[in-house]
Amino acid sequence: MPRLLIVEDERIAAAALEHQLARAGYEVVGNVGKADAAVTAAVEQAPDVVLMDINLGAGPDGIEAARQIRDRCRTAVIFLTAYSDEETLRRAQEVAPFGYLRKPVHSRDLQPALQMALARAALEREREELLASLQAAQAEIEVLRSFLPLCAWCRRVRNDEGYWEDLAHYVTRKLGGEVSHGICDSCATGFDEESGSAGPG
């Protein structure tokens, strides 16, 4: 069940919105009316979407609250506003909202906006996870490309903790794959079937 946070300083409007969301099958994890309370609730409750009124009376407005939420937990924000002046829209666009809803909010507009925000949030999470995986893989490759302290006698590698580790185990742990074993051509030509030893011919 998607979890939503309402940020609306008009208590009657907030209660009506919470009722709409409950009827639509959403879980409301918080209903606050100030910017600082919105940021705290977003960090603590980790909702899927924040429905954020832009005009929150005295103090920081919803755009500033959305900016802090984006920086601290990257939760999707849909703005609620009765204002559509050019300056307000410009400031709102700077925080990359997941949508806008005009007040008063109607049920026919609420459901599509939430569905689109949830879908976009899921895609962005997948993209960030993929990017993190690629960056981690690149870092591992760079480690393997760098100078490896290899024992000239036993061919073990000194790992990051300073211990000597089997080369195959080191590569497997760093790359997350499996190491296959075989005999190279040079060793195969000198393989002694009786003794079971191998060496250059």
Domains of the chain: 3-127 (3.40.50.2300), 147-189 (no CATH)
> What is the average pLDDT value for the chain, to the nearest integer?
84
Phi, psi dihedrals of residue 197, rounded to the nearest 5°: -100, 160
pLDDT at 196 over 90: no
pLDDT in the model for residue 182: 72
Q: How confident is the model at residue 82 (pLDDT cuts 50, 70, 90)?
A: confident
Work out the number of other CB atoms within 10 angstroms of the CB of residue 33.
16
Q: Can you give the pTM of this predicted structure?
A: 0.65
Q: Is 141 within 8 Å of 148 (Cβ atoms)?
A: no
pLDDT in tens, 175-190: 666 767 677 777 767 6
Lowest mean pLDDT among 4-13, 24-33, 85-94: 85-94
Work out the number of other CB atoms within 10 angstroms of the CB of residue 21.
23
User: Strand 99-102 and strand 157-158: pairing?
Assistant: unpaired
Q: Is 62 within 8 Å of 35 (Cβ atoms)?
A: yes
pLDDT, average across residues 5-23: 94
Residue with the two structure tokens 């209903």? 31
pLDDT in the model for residue 36: 96
Number of H helices, E strands in the chain: 7, 7
CA distance readout (Å), 155 to 70, 92, 94, 178 = 49, 59, 55, 18
pLDDT in the model for residue 200: 47
Largest Cα–Cα separation, the chain? 90
Residue with the two structure tokens 């300056």? 87
pLDDT in the model for residue 57: 84
pLDDT, average across residues 115-129: 89
